[in-house]
Amino acid sequence: MKGGFSVQLIHRDSPNSPFYNPTETPFQQLHKAFQRSFHRVNHFYPKSKASQETPQSVISSNQGEYLVKYSIGTPPFEVIGIADTGSDLVWSQCKPCDQCYNQKSPLFDPSKSSTYKPVSCYSRVCGLVGETSCHSDSDSSCEYTISYGDGSHSEGTLAFDTLTLDSTTGSAIGFLKIPIGCGVNNAGTFDSQGSGIVGLGGGVVSLITQIGPSIDFKFSYCLVPMSESKTTSKLNFGKNAVVAGPGTVSTPIITGSVETFYYLRLEGMSVGTKRIELLDDSTISNVTDGNIIIDSGTTLTLLPQSFYSKLESAVASRIILERVNSTNEILSLCYKSTPNSVIEVPPVTAHFTGADVVLNSLNTFVSVSEEVSCFAFAPIATGSIFGNIAQINHLVGYDFVKKTVHGEYLMKYSIGTPPFEVMGIADTGSDLVWLQCKPCEKCYNQTDPLFDPSKSSTYQPIYCHSKVRESLSQNGEASCHSGTDPNCEYSIAYGDGSYSNGTLAFETLTLSSTTGSSVAFPKIPIGCGVNNGGKFDPKGSGIVGLGKGSISLITKIGPSIDFKFSYCLLPNFESKTTSKLNFGKNAVVAGPGTVSTPIKHDPVDTFYVLKLEGISVGSKRIELVDDSTSNDDNGNIIIDTGTTLTFLPAKFYAKLESEVAAQIKLERVHNPEHILTLCYKSPPKKVIVAPPITAHFTGADVVLNPLNTFVSVSHDVICFAFAPVETNSIFGNMAQMNYLIGYDLVKKTVSFKPIDCTKM
């Protein structure tokens, strides 16, 4: 796909919408939209309660207000789904349907699609979607279950299929192998005119993340007023989604407790020139946390009760009109008005971090009857949502590239005969070695030449009946598309939405030793990628899988290296030398200061999982109490070279951050990148005086100094290089710097030895 493209967004109550009910007045439609707003709070904040004065009897779906047309499968089958920035999975009702809600349009029949392929239970994608399960050994398909805040739900089979979007230019753009839910047990408050949800959230399986590499991880929309019936809103992707020019302001998307939602930081609001500060639970210990979700599927803007009261009072004091009761008993600040009249109200400015968004009367007041207009804001007990009325006539753009943090190590190797040099990302969190190959159907931009398998005398495609195919199926997806093509095709998706598709083959892989000699390993399984995309650097080609799965490079060359490897990671600022990756006898980690911890069993063969028992800050120890305490054989943290930061469970992280902050006597500041929360003004020479932090693994206490625990994020700000996460914990590469770390797959141990890696 070159450039960008746009698709239509249709408001559910627009005459252009299949949900449109001509018997309802615009005011009745609004009343239902208000009710949906409050029930949608349960989706974002499950433990919160809407204001007690708010009616709780809801008869319409809370899933969203705007619709999008798309097609699924081959040949394309048209579907209308609810566009939802508050959820991730794209799902539609499918045949044969065990228990579907009434749908007037035909249901999608996966048996009629030549590109439909169920996701295997062994696929990494299966573990990324809400609640998933495998019901029997005879059926290895991944089954999903998703529940929404109003009690609606969808259950069915997770699958890959082609998803096609119709551009406003008239052309159709297809995206291959998108994870979709084929729902066969769906119920709730869904409308019979639509089928399911189009998840546009920030999670891994969201449509935005999956097509991210093709759209430069950018999308935007412009919501037209609900009174406009002659035109539709637009959803833009890629270059079409760039928001720039006079009047543009930007605020960071902040990592929240749920990766799906788009959290922003609202600092306050002004009514005319009077500013009201939003004082919430975000104290100095988490000044960069998000406190409001921006959402296209919620009509009203919902704010904390105490803050809302001050805002309402300020607005009311500036309007000289007759105040009346609302006809819907939901909105509290209402005035008598005439049809099509415009209430003269002061501008209301939402002060986000770095961005002041001015809202006019179209964004702040809405007609709820022929003679009553109300303030389109409301109070809730906890959490906040910036709703779609407030976003009308604003071009709202989301850019995910500017909010990402990368940290990877590269390694040189050669492939084929004669040897062809390649630079790939060394990744202990994946298995397959793959690179971009000629002829490439859809490769990301690569500076160096692509490997041409036709020029190698040792390149041998792997056939579908090979045992290697079965091994790959546990780490990615392997398939045979037709009986005429016996070659095994692979497909791998990574957690950030990056992917690779191509042919699985045997090839000679050569490693150049630091001594100057080269070591060749014949018949290594590799992926020859011809359809690859994501957050890859143009100077590299693919991944070097160093995991412990059956097709990993480490496993395949294991007998030659005594199943041992080690590395010593240099600090990022070291430019005169490189980190070392050692094999065999060179990989032995021993001597004074060496500590070892067992590699624990994990359902995913790829990962190196350890048991973290706690962390000490100076002499203060914080125990990690988690579900794994009931079984000492379980691990609870992945050690990984491909992740920069160290991620820990949110509750445990909060205790750790609090203790670190208590022991550092420096000026606390905001993080300009809004990713890390514990930041300080950089001391002279950027050397922070911080207490030692000790990671207590089973049998191994690993002492981390400030080089491992703090990182400069700008010329004058330094931050704690740990972060909270709701899912798996990861011991990242910054925490591993200046340690010789050895992996012994026979003894099943990881060893740590503190050392100056520049001297190795």
Q: CA gyration radius for the chain?
A: 28
3-state secondary structure of 714: strand
User: What's 8-26+64-238's CATH class?
Assistant: mainly beta
C-alpha distance from residue 551 to each of 9, 149, 408, 472, 658 (Å): 44, 42, 21, 7, 42
What H or E segment, with its residue span, contains residue 198?
A: strand 197-199
- Mean per-residue pLDDT for 174-192? 87
pLDDT grade, residue 47 (50/70/90)?
very low
Residues 6+ apart with CB under 8 A from 623: 613, 614
pLDDT recorded at residue 233:
79
Q: What is the pLDDT of residues 478-501, one digit of tens each?
A: 566 555 557 888 888 776 667 889
0.85 surpassed by pTM? no
pLDDT grade, residue 24 (50/70/90)?
low
- Residue 284: is its pLDDT beyond 50? no
Q: Tell me the DSSP string of 478-524.
A: EE--BTTB-BPEEEEE-TTS-EEEEEEEEEEEEEE-TTS-EEEEEEE
3-state secondary structure of 659: helix
- Mean per-residue pLDDT for 661-685? 80
The token pair at 332 is 């509290």
- pLDDT above 70 as % of the chain: 79
Residues in a beta bridge with 730:
638, 647
How many Cβ atoms from other residues are within 10 Å of residue 662's Cβ? Answer: 13
CB of 740 closer than 8 Å to CB of 674: no
pLDDT recorded at residue 339:
64
Q: What is the pLDDT of residues 381-421, one digit of tens each?
A: 877 999 888 998 888 887 766 543 334 577 889 999 999 99
Q: Name the nearest CA neighbour of 68 among 207, 228, 183.
A: 207
What H or E segment, with its residue span, contains residue 713?
A: strand 710-714
Q: Which fold has domain 589-759?
A: Cathepsin D, subunit A; domain 1 (2.40.70)
pLDDT recorded at residue 39:
52
Q: One-letter amino acid identity for 425? A: I
Which CATH superfamily includes the segment(s) 263-403?
A: Acid Proteases (2.40.70.10)
- Mean per-residue pLDDT for 140-155? 83
**Please, what sign has the CA dihedral across residues 689, 690, 692, 693?**
negative
Is the backbone of residue 534 left (phi > 0), alpha (psi -120 to 50) or beta? left
CB of 107 closer than 8 Å to CB of 98: no
So where are the chain's domains?
8-26+64-238, 263-403, 409-560, 589-759
CB of 428 closer than 8 Å to CB of 546: yes
Residues 6+ apart with CB under 8 A from 467: none
What H or E segment, with its residue span, contains residue 181?
A: strand 172-187
How many Cβ atoms from other residues are within 10 Å of residue 485's Cβ? Answer: 12
Q: Name the nearest CA neighbour of 69 among 56, 59, 79, 83.
A: 79
What H or E segment, with its residue span, contains residue 695?
A: strand 693-697
pLDDT recorded at residue 10:
55
CA distance 169 to 186: 34
- Residue 569: is its pLDDT beyond 70? yes
What H or E segment, with its residue span, contains residue 29?
A: helix 26-44
CB of 27 closer than 8 Å to CB of 367: yes
8-26+64-238 and 589-759 in the same fold? yes
Q: Where is average pLDDT lowest: 320-334, 540-554, 698-712?
A: 320-334
- Residue 473: is its pLDDT beyond 50? no
84 in active site: yes
3-state secondary structure of 314: helix
Residue position matching structure tokens 């990744």? 427
Residues 6+ apart with CB under 8 A from 52: none
pLDDT grade, residue 59 (50/70/90)?
very low
Question: Of 13, 84, 427, 605, which residue is the catalytic one?
Answer: 84
Phi, psi of 284 (to 5 degrees): -60, -20
Q: Tell me the DSSP string of 355-397.
A: EEEEE-HHHHEEEEETTEEEESEEEESS--EE-HHHHTT-EEE
Q: Where is average pLDDT lowest: 61-70, 249-258, 321-330?
A: 61-70
CA distance 135 to 121: 10
pLDDT grade, residue 372 (50/70/90)?
confident
Q: One-letter amino acid identity for 336? A: K
Per the prediction, the chain carries an average pLDDT of 80
C-alpha distance from residue 599 to each of 73, 557, 605 (Å): 42, 19, 11
CA distance 345 to 601: 63
- Residue 4: is its pLDDT beyond 70? no
Question: Of 166, 295, 427, 605, which residue is the catalytic one?
Answer: 295
Domain spanning 409-560 has what CATH number?
A: 2.40.70.10
CA distance 432 to 481: 21
Q: What is the pLDDT of residues 361-370, one digit of tens each?
A: 889 998 888 8
pLDDT recorded at residue 392:
87
The token pair at 562 is 């005594």
Q: Tell me the DSSP string of 271-313.
A: ETTEEEE---S--GGGTT---EEE-TT-SSEEEEHHHHHHHHH
Preceding amide of 179 cis, omega within 30: no
pLDDT grade, residue 63 (50/70/90)?
very low
CB of 398 closer than 8 Å to CB of 218: yes
Q: Where is average pLDDT lowest: 14-23, 34-43, 301-310, 658-667?
A: 34-43
